[in-house]
């Protein structure tokens, strides 16, 4: 089992939404072979730290939102069932969830190679407002700002830097 950085993927276009992910206990990625390979690497029991990237449109600073645990391996969005047995695709359309926009935007959302995938998660930290995102100070971790920002360019990646790893575990016990 590993600890991962997982970019929620929420952008100025509201492609995905932290609140939806938290409420419905999932994280998602897709749209390219690279992202599909990354989300498929996640195994049951892996820990992730959810990251909300900076959003210039609403002046959101961005940062880490919380910690969760992977409960099931990745499945295509169209096949994902919520804890109550209902299909996420149907619930998303009925409730106007942002992930529906991702699904509608992608050229091949059901293609196993590049489609939208979802993993079931259990959130281990309480929900918090987006304005409370935690952005570590890179100098306290022995990193330069560019090194820290570079770690956030890969949507799903192992957290290998010991200082960042320990800092996140302290912030999100």
Q: What is the CA radius of gyration of the chain?
A: 15
Q: Of 109, 99, 134, nearest to 24 (Cα)?
A: 99
Task: Please count the other Cβ atoms lying within 10 Å of the Cβ belonging to residue 62.
Answer: 19
pLDDT score recorded for residue 67: 95
* C-alpha–C-alpha distance, residues 28 and 118, integer Å: 4
| Residues paired with residue 64 on neighbouring β-strands, in sequence order | 51, 134
Residue 77 near residue 30 (C-beta atoms within 8 A) = yes
Question: Which H or E run contains 165?
Answer: helix 162-171
* C-alpha–C-alpha distance, residues 62 and 27, integer Å: 17
pLDDT score recorded for residue 150: 54
- In the chain, which stretches have pLDDT less than 70? 12-14, 55-60, 103-106, 143-154
Domain residue ranges in the chain: 3-139
What's the pTM? 0.86
* C-alpha–C-alpha distance, residues 22 and 67, integer Å: 11
pLDDT score recorded for residue 122: 97
State both tokens at 124.
């281990």
* C-alpha–C-alpha distance, residues 21 and 6, integer Å: 12
pLDDT score recorded for residue 10: 80
> Could you tell me the fold of the domain covering 3-139?
2.30.130
Alpha helices in 29-133 (DSSP H): 33-40, 88-95, 99-105
DSSP string, 122-157: EE-S----GGG-B---GGGGT--HHHHHHTTSSSEE
- C-alpha dihedral over 84, 81, 64, 169, to 10 degrees? 70
């Amino acid at each position: 089992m590993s600890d991962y950085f997982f970019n929620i993927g929420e952008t100025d276009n509201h492609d995905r939404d932290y609140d939806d992910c938290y409420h419905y206990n999932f994280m998602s990625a897709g749209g390219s072979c690279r992202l599909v390979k990354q989300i498929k690497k996640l195994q049951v029991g892996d820990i992730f730290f959810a990251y909300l990237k900076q959003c210039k449109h609403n002046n959101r600073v961005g940062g880490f939102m919380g910690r969760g645990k992977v409960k099931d391996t990745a499945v295509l969005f169209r096949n994902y069932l919520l804890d109550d047995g209902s299909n996420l695709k149907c619930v998303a359309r009925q409730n106007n969830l942002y992930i529906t926009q991702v699904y509608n935007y992608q050229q091949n959302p059901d293609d196993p190679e590049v489609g939208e995938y979802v993993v079931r998660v259990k959130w281990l930290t309480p929900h918090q407002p987006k304005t409370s995102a935690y952005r570590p100070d890179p100098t306290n971790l022995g990193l330069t700002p560019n090194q820290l920002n570079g770690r956030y360019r890969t949507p799903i990646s192992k957290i290998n830097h010991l200082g960042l790893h320990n800092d996140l575990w302290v912030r999100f016990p």
